[in-house]
Amino acid sequence: MRCVMTLGSGERCPLTANSGSKTCRAHASPPQPDSFYTDQLTDADRRALAVAAGLAGVDAEIAVLRVLIRRVLSLGDVEAARRGIDTLCRTLKIRHALDEHTSDQLADALGRVLDTITEDEAISR
């Protein structure tokens, strides 16, 4: 079952709910106090990073970058935020290029399948 919580973006949380719960690990109780990063991350940071852990590939990197940018901005480090935003823009550009490449491959594959179906129909007639 999928987590019932809503993210700050308004989208439903993509993570799977914990067994016997309606919420995922990110929306459950906060991490244990002895966690290495407990004193460095806010509850919102921990939830955002837990959601990022549920993503794959470039999307996970984008999610982590957004958390880090928000974090350095909250600390007032505008220069670090600018560098983070620059990195985020480059990462989004890479993701876009990967998406275009994937869609081109899908279009080629679908074209080959349709050609094969057309050839099979011509042979069977």
Reported as a single tens digit per residue, the pLDDT across 29-56 is: 654 444 555 566 777 777 777 777 666 6
**Residue 67: CB partners within 8 Å, gap ≥ 6?**
45, 48, 49, 52
Task: For the chain, count helices (H), then strands (E).
Answer: 3, 0
**Domain range list for the chain:** 55-124
What pLDDT does residue 120 have? 60
Q: Would you state the structure tokens that stand for residue 32, as one six-digit string?
A: 């244990």
Whether the predicted pLDDT of 22 surpasses 70: yes
**pTM across the whole model:** 0.45
What pLDDT does residue 104 have? 67
Q: Would you state the structure tokens that stand for residue 20, as one six-digit string?
A: 């016997």
What pLDDT does residue 49 have? 73
Question: What's the Rg (C-alpha) of the chain?
Answer: 21
pLDDT in tens, 54-101: 666 677 778 888 888 888 888 888 899 889 888 888 888 887 777 766
Per the CB < 8 A criterion, the answer to whether 97 and 75 are in contact is no
Rounded CA-CA distance 90/100 in Å is 15
